[in-house]
């Protein structure tokens, strides 16, 4: 419609212009007639200009509409909103694991403290076995709600690696954060998973710790590169780690972290806790020191050390926290652990880790005496492993790992762990 109107105006303008030209050439024409024709030409030109501008604006509007509609279709998906208005995002991975156990415990994942002792019926029965599972598949939700006093955050993370059988649904993390406070269940302040050498085994290795405790934590920065955290934590005692326990007080835990300009990190941790039965009580304590060092842009060194007395819950594969004698008196276990590993990124898709873990319990105390004939309490544990992980595409990880380890009880008996681990995961 607009195009037809413009054409009509242009034709009229042309006709009037020709008439005006012809009339100007005629000397007999009166000035009023010429002036009238000039006025009509002026009006037609103004009309044509207005119509052309309108057409241009309409076309531009259509272009802008098309331009704004296209990005909306390809924008990344925004965080969802809960009924209460909290922002959240979903994360996790689907993972399949397999293990070929040449020697060791008949379990899918690491159980170095309980591998069968040599020359026993259990050793013969529990070798040359293949296991597979998807139990470590994990999913979680991060939450955030803006308030007038600042953001309130939260996390809920779950997997299917619970109970002693490692095949039941469980909650890994469930907490809220506000300002410098954290309340709920998450990693104990005493442990440092970020300093453990990488392994495919979901049960990790000697010298590691995966304790998640209900706690209340306060953390803050001392300087731009130094921070601290203090927490009170539920010990979550078990019959295995703390026989006959009667919990009365939470554990008090502290941590100090420092970052270096080259990306390296260092942390020191400590805890103190009450151990109590109906007949006796002891004070348990522990210290930890660990860190990571960027040797080269492609090579990372990680190390962690612990000394613990009287508590068997913080570190994996350790002994019971204490033993009880005939007079119902408590006698604490005391031990040291260390883990060390180096990871090298060979290509953007391929990396490998060489790791080692060691635990040594004190064997000249009353605890060692009482556990001299025990087949479940160990004087020494060690494991070494090497793995390779491949990321053919960003969300996919494939890995293979060889593990060898040994345990020695207080009476000198030995057990061997010798196996291959394999995994494939899809991160989402």
- Are the C-beta atoms of residues 325 and 310 closer than 8 Å to each other? no
pLDDT tens readout for residues 220-257? 999 999 999 999 999 777 776 777 788 889 999 999 99
Q: What is the pLDDT of residue 50?
A: 58
Distance from C-alpha of 148 to C-alpha of 415, rounded to nearest angstrom: 59
Q: What is the pLDDT of residue 107?
A: 87
- Are the C-beta atoms of residues 180 and 229 closer than 8 Å to each other? no
**For residue 62, pLDDT beyond 80:** no
Question: Quick one: what percent of the chain has pLDDT higher than 90?
Answer: 70
pLDDT category at 24 given cuts 50, 70, 90 is: very low
pLDDT tens readout for residues 363-380? 999 999 999 999 999 999
Scan for tokens 């259509």, then name that residue: 62
Rounded to 5 degrees, φ, ψ at 343 are: -115, 130
- Are the C-beta atoms of residues 100 and 420 closer than 8 Å to each other? yes
CATH 2.40.160.10 is held by the domain 88-427? yes
Scan for tokens 């010990």, then name that residue: 235
**Run of H or E including 155:** strand 152-162
In this structure, of 68-77, 167-176, 290-299, the range with the lowest mean pLDDT score is 68-77
**For residue 355, pLDDT beyond 90:** yes
* Helix, strand or coil, per DSSP, at residue 22: helix
pLDDT tens readout for residues 163-187? 878 889 999 999 999 999 999 999 9
Q: What is the pLDDT of residue 178?
A: 96
**For residue 192, pLDDT beyond 60:** yes
- pLDDT higher for 15 or 245? 245
**For residue 74, pLDDT beyond 70:** no
Rounded to 5 degrees, φ, ψ at 239 are: -65, -30
Note the pTM of the prediction, 2 decimals.
0.78
* DSSP string covering 33-68: HHHHHHHHHHHHHHHHHHHHHHHHHHHHHHHHHHHH
Residue 50 is classified by DSSP as H
User: For 344-372, what is the mean pLDDT?
Assistant: 97
Domain extent listing, the chain: 2-74, 88-427
- Are the C-beta atoms of residues 381 and 405 closer than 8 Å to each other? yes
User: For 5-28, what is the mean pLDDT?
Assistant: 45
* Helix, strand or coil, per DSSP, at residue 368: helix
Distance from C-alpha of 388 to C-alpha of 278, rounded to nearest angstrom: 50
**For residue 1, pLDDT beyond 90:** no
Q: What is the mean pLDDT of the chain?
A: 86
- Are the C-beta atoms of residues 101 and 127 closer than 8 Å to each other? yes
pLDDT category at 23 given cuts 50, 70, 90 is: very low
**For residue 3, pLDDT beyond 50:** no
Distance from C-alpha of 371 to C-alpha of 362, rounded to nearest angstrom: 12
């Amino acid at each position: 419609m607009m195009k037809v109107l413009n054409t009509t105006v242009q034709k009229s303008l042309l006709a009037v212009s020709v008439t005006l030209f012809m009339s100007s050439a005629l000397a007999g024409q009166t000035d009023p007639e010429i002036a009238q024709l000039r006025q009509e030409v002026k009006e037609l030109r103004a009309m044509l200009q207005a119509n052309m501008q309108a057409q241009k604006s309409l076309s531009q509007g259509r272009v802008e509409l098309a331009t704004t509609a296209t990005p909306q279709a390809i924008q990344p998906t925004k965080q969802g909103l809960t009924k209460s208005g909290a922002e959240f995002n979903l994360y996790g991975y689907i993972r399949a694991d397999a293990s070929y156990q040449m020697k060791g415990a008949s379990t899918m994942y690491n159980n170095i403290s309980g591998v069968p002792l040599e020359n026993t019926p259990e050793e013969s029965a529990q070798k040359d076995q293949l296991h597979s599972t998807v139990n470590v598949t994990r999913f979680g939700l991060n939450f955030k709600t803006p308030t007038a006093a600042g953001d309130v955050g939260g996390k809920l993370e779950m997997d299917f690696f619970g109970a002693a059988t490692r095949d039941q649904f469980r909650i890994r993390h469930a907490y809220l954060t506000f300002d410098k406070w954290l309340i709920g269940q998450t990693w104990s302040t005493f442990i440092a998973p970020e300093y453990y050498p990488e392994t495919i085994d979901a049960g990790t290795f000697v010298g590691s710790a995966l304790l998640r405790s209900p706690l209340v934590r306060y953390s803050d920065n001392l300087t731009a590169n130094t921070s601290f955290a203090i927490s009170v934590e539920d010990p979550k005692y078990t019959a295995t780690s703390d026989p006959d326990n009667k919990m009365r007080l939470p554990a008090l835990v502290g941590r100090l972290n420092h970052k270096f300009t080259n990306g390296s990190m260092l942390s020191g941790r400590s805890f103190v806790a009450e151990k109590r039965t109906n007949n006796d009580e002891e004070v348990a304590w522990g210290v930890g020191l660990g860190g990571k060092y960027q040797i080269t842009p492609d090579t990372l060194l990680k190390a962690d050390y612990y000394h613990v007395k009287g508590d068997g819950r913080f570190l994996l594969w350790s002994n019971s926290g204490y033993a009880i004698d005939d007079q119902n008196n408590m006698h604490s276990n005391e031990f040291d652990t260390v883990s060390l590993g180096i990871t090298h990124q060979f290509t953007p898709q391929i990396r490998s880790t060489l790791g080692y873990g060691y635990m040594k319990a004190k064997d000249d105390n009353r605890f060692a005496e009482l556990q001299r004939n025990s087949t479940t309490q160990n004087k020494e544990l060690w494991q070494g492993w090497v793995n390779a992980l491949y990321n053919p595409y960003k969300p996919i990880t494939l890995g293979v790992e060889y593990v060898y380890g040994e345990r020695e009880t207080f009476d000198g008996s030995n057990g061997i762990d010798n196996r291959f681990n394999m995994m494939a995961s899809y991160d989402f």
